[in-house]
Homo-oligomer: A and B are copies of this chain.
Amino acid sequence: MTQVYGKVALIGLGLIASSMFWAMRRRGLAGTVSGFARSRETRDTARRIGLCDTVCDSAAEAVADADLVVLAVPVGAMGAVAEEIAPHLKPGATVTDVGSVKKTVIDTVGPHIPEGVHFVPGHPLAGTEHSGPESGFATLFDDRWCLLVPPPGADPEAVARLRLYWEGLGSFVEEMDAEHHDLVLAVTSHAPHLIAYTMVGVADDLRRVTDSEVIKYSAAGFRDFTRIAASDPTMWRDVFLNNKEATLEILGRFTEELFALQRAIRTGDGDHLHAYFTRTRAIRRGIIQAGQDTDAPDFGRKKVER
């Protein structure tokens, strides 16, 4: 693989940015990579583990001369970071982000981008429940989708280069408009996360079912919820606050359906339940066929050694 950008600056050094660094290095996608994180502890960790060629003590320093600037901070912090780096951006550079919400990122970051700098928002659909600079790994984006959301009038060459870059990181790339992105993600990610957080919170509240029992017997479905509900609290707070409308709409639909199923349970309407469960089973097959999961026994998880 050839180099796609001369200098890449990573602003924020969590799971996504650190995985990007290792994936860039694996393929030689960048000449040099600078990084910045707001917390001194994170910068120290990054220096210790060799994350980035240079770890800078200010965002301004990190973005100087960068051909690509990646905003990898929680969605709620994007606007302030954009304002801070704006005067230091190189003409002709591209600014992108990795936020899970696109409309508000465009609204808060866009106005700060100077004339002559390209702004091409993005969103890699990849992650784990871990966070921080030490949680990244080079294969995180392999065979996962990255959605690019270029604003109307975006420079086609800048978009094409960013696409090449994400393909180099291992992803499939698709373009989408911001509103549609936020609705699709509300369905596939934001609402499921809130639901998982809720269910885990309920389990935690039930004093009659002791914590240890909930944990001990978690294999039967609840386990998957706890994994989702272990995701980064700050990141997810910002996602919900910044994709309010679409998330609340999907949750409204969800509650409606849940009430209908609860009613079927209460009235003993087995046919309704059976028909519903048969329909949802078909969707799973589609996901296996689309290569976005495995159908290996025990969900493809390696057995935990004891």
Binding site for B on A (CB under 8 A): 76, 100, 125-130, 135, 137, 139-140, 142-145, 147, 183-185, 187-206, 208-209, 211-231, 233-234, 236-238, 240-241, 244, 247-248, 250-251, 253-255, 257-258, 261-262, 265-266, 268, 270, 273-274, 276-281, 283-287, 290-304, 306
A125 to B202, CA, bound (A): 21
CB contacts (< 8 Å) of A261 on chain B: these are 194, 197-198
CB contacts (< 8 Å) of A227 on chain B: these are 224, 284, 293, 299
CB contacts (< 8 Å) of A286 on chain B: these are 211-212, 215
A295 to B305, CA, bound (A): 12
A-B contacts, 5 listed (Cβ < 8 Å): A185-B217, A188-B214, A226-B283, A230-B281, A300-B301
A221 to B214, CA, bound (A): 21
| Chain B residue nearest in CB terms to A100 | B220
A244 to B262, CA, bound (A): 9
| Chain B residue nearest in CB terms to A285 | B230
**Shortest Cβ distance from A260 into chain B, in angstroms?**
9
CB contacts (< 8 Å) of A231 on chain B: these are 277, 281
A230 touches B284 (CB 8 A): yes
CB contacts (< 8 Å) of A217 on chain B: these are 125, 145, 147, 184-185, 188-189
A36 to B287, CA, bound (A): 33
**Shortest Cβ distance from A72 into chain B, in angstroms?**
16
> Contacts A189-B221, A227-B299, A241-B268 given; 19 further ones with Cβ under 8 A?
A125-B220, A127-B220, A139-B303, A143-B306, A184-B209, A187-B203, A188-B217, A188-B218, A188-B222, A203-B283, A206-B250, A212-B286, A224-B228, A226-B287, A233-B273, A233-B277, A238-B270, A241-B270, A294-B304
CB contacts (< 8 Å) of A300 on chain B: these are 300-302
